[in-house]
A and B are shown apart, each in its own frame.
Chain A
Amino acid sequence: MSQSPTHAQRSDLFLLDAERTTWHDETLWFVREKRDRAVYATPEFQELRQLASDIKDHTLSQLSEYLAQFEAAALANGVRVHWAADAAEHNRIVLGIVRQAGATRVVKSKSMLTEECHLNPHLLAHGVEVIDSDLGERIIQLRDEAPSHVVLPAIHLKKEDVGETFWQHLGTEKGLTDPQQLTEAARQHLREKFLAAEVAISGVNFAVAETGAVVVCTNEGNADLAIGLARVHIACMGLEKLIPRLSDLAVFTRLLTRSATGQPITTYTSHFTRPAEGKEMHVVIVDNGRSQQLGRPDFRASLKCIRCGACMNTCPVYRRSGGHSYDFTIPGPIGAILSPNIDMKQHASLPFASTLCGSCTAVCPVKIDIHTQLYKWRQVLAAEGHIPASKQYSMQLLSRVLARPSLFKAGGAVARLGLRFVPHALTHAPGYNPWAIARELPTPPRQSFRDWYAQQGPTNAPA
């Protein structure tokens, strides 16, 4: 078992503040309800999900062809295309482009990929100032924290927390909590950074193989402003972001924001096809474990993810444990099926951070069988020795009992007897019985059903 804390241990820290847990749960449930209203108002929503799922399945089934098609089209548009096998290579490539441009000031719009690759620390360590321009990302960058959600990176913070952060870093008035004023302070601060930046880095929501264009969806317009002003644009994408044709895009834009926040579409859906006159445009295509996941038949479908965050908003565990309890760039149910591919030992507890209720699968706009994959990862992790030895041993023991009716009958009788006569303080002892932290054990009956049945004989049917 891994040395790093488990999801349960990190969750227990989050749960210590019961009021904040309530607030976090209700905030994300509110987003889930907005999503529901948008879905109910779109009668063809389930057809769109199927279509999106089919398009992604198809694309993944011949990804190498689509990647080659995309590269050729992008090169023909005058875009420079780079390939990175892993995070380190991605970071080297991006730093190389920045240096070649003679730049030291970079603004970056929202990109989970660059978070995954830990690009910011790499650039900062090499003397490049990098400023996150998405409001949520900027807030957590000032606080030196990781995003806790893929769409709402600072959702773990209250407006009071943001006021405190801005007071410390941006010189706003102490105790300021008005969202409008806080946002205005961030705008003023970011405006200077936008104007001074020489390089703009963006993520990619969709890459169109047919046209070689990348599509970036934002609500703040920060990507557009940065890319419009800077001389160099670097778009960083995971290799699963491809869709075959421009006409496929509408299916995804209709699903993405309805699923994410309940909006019909993002405020800005920007297509970047070729560099403007006198400017440079680069696309960095990153593998970083994706082709390995593509090679796992049970888990391949996780690469269909369009990062809408709906599985996080709906997950009753995520809402009560917070994104940081997952210890992986992508938190929540989707993160729990992506992370073991990267490091089974470190993330061994994540597929167990679910009741397998299936709500994640039911909201997923591209129909990833998330809860089935959670179940399957559990089997892989146990087989590879990444579950606690005590658990494995007790399950082996249980199996022996349950395959033998006489042992089961005897074992049950002993357990019920024990529960009847051992004092409550012992059966419910803190530290020994995790059930009892908030729950009473069932009152053990004198007779099991099988004992009752043996006495009664079968109940006679009237007919």
Chain B
Amino acid sequence: MKVALFVPCYVDQFYPQVAVASLQLLAKLGVRADFPKQQTCCGQPMANSGCEQEARPVYRHFVETFADYDYVVGPAGSCVYHVRQHFDVIDQTPAVRHVRTATVELFDFITQVLGVTELPGAFPHKVGLHLSCHGQRGLHQANASEMTPVRDGQLRRLLAGLEGLELTELDRNDECCGFGGTFCVSEAGISARMGQDRVADHVRHGTRVLTGGDMSCLMHLEGIVRRQKLPVRVLHAAEIFNGALA
């Protein structure tokens, strides 16, 4: 099985430790992932702004980069969702079709491709899980409150399985954090307010470590946590599992 690590552009530049943790976690699970170094970005920032036309060369570059891999694994539901959902505007060559289905989110890969549904280790902290909308509603990684009162999902289960970890129960389990890609600057006021409300929900219920599967939401929430100087650490879930797994 030939596996590539897809490291979103902002993770590469600002959160290298998340990519390192993903790589090491995969290695501990027996998967040696390559990092094809010509990779850049999935093109979502452009498409999100209405500039899908401008994003096409970036889509084609993505496909060329990853076409030879069986799986393209990324620690970011939103970017993965973008590749799978929105690469429909370029010619659907066999390579494009392959890359669209081969690109999977890290925890989808671990639970569904590797079939690993429990990760060992301890993390004795009060942890708040932030559900990424694109992971939850786009990739169907977790139940949605629009459909059912049952709060369930693979990341929630994996976290709950760590020794000593206590999950925070939020008032609003799956409200958007307000990052929204370029929305975070084009509608900065609303974006900030949404993020502040999300963080407040976590703080109110005792979250000490805020985590999730999507670093873009977490980048936004971390920015708020640090501005407000709150006693909350923000970690990508890959960092937690990699640290907990000896």
Contacts and interface: CB of A to CB of B under 8 A. Distances in A.
A180 interface: no
B185 A434 contact: yes
Interface in A373-421: 375, 378-383, 387, 391-392, 395-396, 398-399, 401-405, 408, 412, 415-416
B224 A353 contact: no
Interface residues of A, number: 75
Nearest to B36: A405
A316 B46 CA distance: 23
Given A439-B195, A440-B223, A402 B9 contact: yes
B137 A362 contact: yes
A378 B195 CA distance: 23
A392 B51 contact: yes
A442 B15 contact: yes
A435 B137 contact: no
A12 B191 CA distance: 11
A239 interface: no
B176 interface: yes
A450 B178 CA distance: 29
Nearest to A321: B190
Interface in A429-444: 434-435, 437-442, 444
A177 B80 CA distance: 51
Given A320-B190, A382-B50, A442 B11 contact: no
Contact of B194 (A46, A316, A379): A316
B98 interface: no
B159 interface: no
B190 A317 contact: yes
Contact of A462 (B30, B222, B226): B30
B72 interface: no
Contacts of A453: 19, 23, 35, 37
A306 interface: no
A7 B41 CA distance: 29
A7 B191 CA distance: 13
B24 A439 contact: no
Nearest to B172: A29
Given A40-B148, A399-B54, A453-B35, A415 B16 contact: no
Interface string B130-168: 000110011000001111110000000000000000000
B51 A395 contact: yes
B186 interface: yes
Contact of A352 (B51, B178, B186, B196): B186
Interface string B111-143: 000000000000000000000011001100000
A358 B34 CA distance: 33
Contacts of A441: 223
B101 interface: no
Contacts of A452: 16, 20
Contacts of A451: 16
Contacts of A359: 133, 137, 144, 146, 175-176
A412 B12 contact: yes
A435 B190 contact: no
B246 to A, nearest CB: 12
For chain B, which range describes its interface: under 10, 10 to 19, 20 to 34, or 35 or more residues? 35 or more
A172 interface: no
B180 interface: yes
A459 B27 contact: yes
Contacts of B226: 439-440
A460 interface: yes
Contacts of B41: 402, 408
Nearest to B136: A358
A250 interface: no
A7 B172 CA distance: 25
Contacts of A362: 137, 144, 146-147
A26 to B, nearest CB: 10
A375 B45 CA distance: 12
B52 A379 contact: yes
A248 B61 CA distance: 50
Given A359-B133, A445-B16, A452-B20, A458 B190 contact: no
Given A12-B189, A36-B146, A395-B54, A442 B40 contact: no
Given A382-B52, A434-B185, A449-B35, 14 more contacts: A15-B190, A29-B172, A316-B194, A317-B187, A356-B180, A359-B133, A362-B137, A383-B50, A412-B9, A412-B13, A438-B188, A438-B195, A444-B13, A462-B28
Interface of A: 7-8, 11-12, 15, 21, 25, 29, 36, 39-40, 46, 314, 316-317, 320-321, 352-359, 361-363, 375, 378-383, 387, 391-392, 395-396, 398-399, 401-405, 408, 412, 415-416, 434-435, 437-442, 444-445, 447-454, 458-463
28 contacts: A8-B190, A36-B145, A40-B148, A317-B187, A354-B180, A355-B176, A356-B134, A358-B133, A359-B144, A361-B137, A378-B48, A383-B53, A395-B49, A399-B43, A399-B54, A399-B58, A402-B58, A405-B39, A415-B13, A437-B188, A437-B189, A442-B222, A445-B14, A445-B16, A447-B16, A449-B7, A449-B20, A451-B16
Interface of B: 7, 9, 11-17, 19-20, 23-24, 27-28, 30-35, 37-41, 43, 45-55, 57-58, 60-61, 86, 133-134, 137-138, 144-149, 172, 175-176, 178-197, 219-220, 222-224, 226-227
